[in-house]
Amino acid sequence: MESASRHLEAQIRWRRLETVFWLCTLLPFVAAPAYLQLASQIAITALFALSLDLILGYAGIVSLGHAAYFGVGAYTAGLLAKHGWGEPLSGLLISGILAGLTGYATSHIIVRFRHLALIMLTLGLGLLLYEAANSASWLTGGADGLQGVRIRPLLEMFRFDLYGSTAYAYSLVVLFACFLISRRIIHSPFGLALRGIRENALRMPAIGAPSRAHLRKVYSIAAILAGVAGALLAQTTETVSLEVLSFGRSADVLVILILGGAGRLYGGLLGAILYMVARDQFSGMNPQYWYFWIGLLLVAVVMFLPNGILGGLAKFLQRST
């Protein structure tokens, strides 16, 4: 009996490799100060992918419209700052809450569907919000983007400078905090229930589990995290373009998560690093065709590493020890 709890404890304990990973995220400050803006974008994308991992990797909700919540967060933070509320932390909080409320409202429809219908539904919701923002140009600036976003210094001390050191530090700290929360969630009874839904949605009611209530909850949490990521982007770049709500962003984050490995927390982070660095490099060489390489990478990973790069790594390490 004693061993049962200990076995579960061993599964969730903080590993040395995790410490190494998070220490490495500090490297850009010293090793690549010219790339801090990129590093900040990566941290934001990683947070967005992490939020998708909660619903896709753990609860099995496939979404092609996750940018909706990212966009709501971005526009909320941008509009707040444009109209005088430039304090970043409270702006971040408000944006997260608003995105979460949007997520909660839409979750009532989302949880009723699965498979293809679900994919189409999320896609439709995403397109809906995109065009709504596009036509409401008096509010969002439409296709020209939201101008005049002024963010106050972080904690009234650190200005968002051109090099992006504040931006990266800020994004990284928020990412780390959200990661810790996500980690907490997936190792809780609620997280186990989510995995149960992913593994067999039919069985859940037969063990007394209200699956839909669980799904609504995780969907709202994921929307909060996506909104926070969007708000980070708006605040650190001091602009919001329609792109934050675009289908491309929804598709990219899905690709990032699948590449990295869904259902492993670190998959989205690793995927974001690879994807963003690859885009930076490839698009420098050949701006028109860089999706060719992403396409190639995606095909290769799905064919040979069905659990993503991280899944492949884990298997390799398992075999070699």
Partner 1 sequence: MVAQDIDLVLPQGVRYALIGPNGAGKTTLINLITGMLRPDAGEIVLGEEDITALRPDTRVKRGLARTFQINTLFPRLTALESVALAVLEREGHSETWWKPLPAYRGAIDEAHAILHSLNLEKASYRLTRELAYGQQRLLEIALALATRPRVLLLDEPAAGVPKDESAELFAAISGLSRDLTILFIEHDMDVVFRFASRIIVMVSGRILAQGTPQEIGADPQVREVYLGKGRHG
The binding site for partner 1 (CB under 8 A) comprises: 1, 4-9, 12, 184-185, 187-193, 195-196, 199-200, 202-211, 213-214, 217
Residue 6 vs 150, nearer CB to partner 1: 6
- CA pair distance 237, 244, nearest whole angstrom: 12
Residue 6 vs 159, nearer CB to partner 1: 6
Task: Compute CA distances 110 → 74, 239, 253, whole Å.
Answer: 22, 30, 19
Tokens representing residue 134 in the block: 């596009």
Residue 189 vs 287, nearer CB to partner 1: 189
Task: Compute CA distances 290 → 2, 294, 295, whole Å.
Answer: 54, 7, 9
Task: Compute CA distances 175 → 41, 124, 164, 179, whole Å.
Answer: 11, 28, 16, 6
Least distance to partner 1, CB of residue 27, Å:
30
Residues 270 and 310: beta-carbon distance below 8 Å: yes
Residue 8 vs 317, nearer CB to partner 1: 8
Least distance to partner 1, CB of residue 290, Å:
35
Residue 193 vs 270, nearer CB to partner 1: 193
Those residues whose C-beta lies under 8 Å from the C-beta of residue 27, and which sit 6 or more positions away, are: none
- CA pair distance 92, 100, nearest whole angstrom: 12
Rg (the chain; Cα; Å): 20
Tokens representing residue 301 in the block: 């990973």
Residue 82 vs 214, nearer CB to partner 1: 214
Least distance to partner 1, CB of residue 202, Å:
6
Least distance to partner 1, CB of residue 115, Å:
18
Least distance to partner 1, CB of residue 190, Å:
4
Least distance to partner 1, CB of residue 135, Å:
38
